[in-house]
Chain A
């Protein structure tokens, strides 16, 4: 292994009352990897993300993000890690620039640096023309683009994306996936995305993890899982087939 492990979970468990949202999760993700975190709605994907970021405390188990424990040193992690929540919200009565500037300030990025970065990212996500409009008037696709710009603003080492393509049109989805892919390749950003849209994950992820009812039932590169589960070697499998086999078992 030449690459460093940047996300590490060991026996990670989260209980909400009697309900177990995440059950003994063991997981490792390497630097520069695009990891797809799959599972049906309510499987505990978002809860896991929140624990990785130190936004929720695990009931038991250990997490190390970039070598830091999110429950104890959330600050260290939040400086280097970005999170794009599902259906990210913005301050509706501010325009795109103001929203980005606010987040940049919270990250203590000096204004003269953040001004450049903001313009650069607005250009990259294709919002330069609309940047002066209030975010309240933005479409879903534009919001998601703005979300990506916001996430990249602090030049993170890891980005966590929660259902990044949900609600986007096919065009927007493609654009988003290409962007995630190129970011991870060019800038060596580790990407951890949760989704239940399987064909998309298949397109860009190096490895996937399948989570069902709080249990991580499979981890590995897609081809490997296909071989193991379906016994097929050729290219004529889809992630959906693999996923459904696991899903029926659970």
Chain B
């Protein structure tokens, strides 16, 4: 249960993440430096380190996309490796509760993910401070902390998925493939599918000169609702809102109500932290809910499983 640290796998993941972190910071840092020239008093620049896309992608996008892989790598063989190496029976014949096995697997994974995330965020912050010479304010630090918490939940969800598959499937290869398949499905196909579905139900053609606004709104709504089924969308909307105080809603421009649009155009002030949080609370709750749901199912299956099915 405490074997994560020493494993080569963990080293690999950390090395990858640190590398990417450094590359992103230097890239984004340069870009920000350029942009900042001549600006009198920029607001909340520091957070740009995490959200600005630079030449390729931002750190937030990176974690949204590849974060699940960390969870999957840490969890995909947690239970069935014990089965394959025949240590599970032995483990369960010791005076420990059966649930402490699965809890241990899950929470040790969560702790590892937490350590990795905090390390990277600190690394990027440190490098960023040197590069752009801006020190984060209290609010920015808070936003970062919340961001780390959301990411932790998000990656833990994928850890839960991976552990669930490792309970269900006996072969480690199958569980790895199943988790990866689910990851690809949610990361690519839900987004694509949302587009297709929206096109099918409320077609909006680009060539038309006049677009019926109602159809357009319907189109956007469908696309949004469907894509919200993907944890990745939930995560990226939530973190973008938290890290970018200028965003006042998680909705796209078309779907904004008139008042929201008005406020965006009139008031370019950043939102206070509490209000950013208020906006993303539904997203947060959804992420928490799916994480617990996933772990709960996993727990139930593991507790009822026959030992003999080795």
Interface residues of A (CB under 8 A from B): 16, 46-47, 50, 53, 55-56, 75, 78-79, 82-83, 85, 87-94, 103, 106-108, 150
Select from chain B the residue with minimum beta-carbon distance to A82.
B93
Q: A78's contact among B82, B86, B95, B308, by CB below 8 Å, is which? A: B95
Q: B87's contact among A50, A78, A91, by CB below 8 Å, is which? A: A91
**Is the pair B87, A46 in contact by a Cβ cutoff of 8 Å?**
no
9 shortest A-B CB distances, which residue pairs? Answer: A89-B86, A78-B95, A83-B93, A89-B87, A89-B85, A106-B94, A79-B95, A85-B89, A55-B307
Contact mask for chain B residues 86-108; partner A; CB cutoff 8 A; 1 contact, 0 none: 11111111111100000000000
**Is the pair A56, B93 in contact by a Cβ cutoff of 8 Å?**
no
Chain A residues in 8 Å Cβ range of B7: 93
**Is the pair A78, B94 in contact by a Cβ cutoff of 8 Å?**
yes
Give, as a whole number of angstroms, the nearest-CB distance from B262 to chain A: 62
A107 to B306, CA, bound (A): 23
Give, as a whole number of angstroms, the nearest-CB distance from B41 to chain A: 55
A83 to B88, CA, bound (A): 12
**Is the pair B87, A90 in contact by a Cβ cutoff of 8 Å?**
yes
A91 to B86, CA, bound (A): 9
A sample of 26 inter-chain contacts (CB < 8 A) reads: A16-B308, A46-B308, A53-B93, A55-B89, A56-B306, A75-B95, A75-B97, A79-B95, A83-B93, A85-B86, A85-B89, A85-B90, A85-B93, A87-B86, A88-B86, A89-B86, A90-B87, A91-B85, A91-B87, A92-B85, A93-B3, A93-B7, A94-B3, A103-B94, A106-B91, A107-B94
- Interface members, chain B 61-91 (any A CB < 8 Å): 82, 85-91
Q: Give the A-B pair count, Cβ closer than 8 A.
A: 59
A75 to B87, CA, bound (A): 19
**Is the pair A107, B95 in contact by a Cβ cutoff of 8 Å?**
yes
A236 to B252, CA, bound (A): 91
Interface range on chain B (Cβ under 8 Å from partner): 20 to 34
Contact mask for chain B residues 204-239; partner A; CB cutoff 8 A; 1 contact, 0 none: 000000000000000000000000000000000000
Chain B residues in 8 Å Cβ range of A16: 306, 308
**Is the pair A106, B306 in contact by a Cβ cutoff of 8 Å?**
no
A50 to B7, CA, bound (A): 32
Select from chain B the residue with minimum beta-carbon distance to A57.
B306
Q: A85-B86, A93-B7, A106-B96 are in contact. List 7 more A-B contacts (CB 8 A).
A: A75-B97, A78-B96, A79-B95, A83-B93, A85-B93, A89-B82, A89-B85
Chain A residues in 8 Å Cβ range of B308: 16, 46-47, 50, 56
Chain B residues in 8 Å Cβ range of A93: 3, 6-7
Chain B residues in 8 Å Cβ range of A47: 308
A82 to B3, CA, bound (A): 24
Select from chain B the residue with minimum beta-carbon distance to A83.
B93
Q: B90's contact among A46, A50, A83, A92, by CB below 8 Å, is which? A: A83
A16 to B308, CA, bound (A): 10
Known: A83-B90, A87-B86, A92-B85. A106 touches B307 (CB 8 A): no
A89 to B87, CA, bound (A): 5
A87 to B82, CA, bound (A): 13
**Is the pair A88, B90 in contact by a Cβ cutoff of 8 Å?**
yes
**Is the pair B96, A91 in contact by a Cβ cutoff of 8 Å?**
no
Select from chain A the residue with minimum beta-carbon distance to B101.
A106
Select from chain A the residue with minimum beta-carbon distance to B310.
A85
**Is the pair B3, A56 in contact by a Cβ cutoff of 8 Å?**
no
**Is the pair B93, A89 in contact by a Cβ cutoff of 8 Å?**
no
Give, as a whole number of angstroms, the nearest-CB distance from B246 to chain A: 49
Contact mask for chain B residues 289-307; partner A; CB cutoff 8 A; 1 contact, 0 none: 0000000000000000011
**Is the pair B90, A56 in contact by a Cβ cutoff of 8 Å?**
no
Chain A residues in 8 Å Cβ range of B92: 55
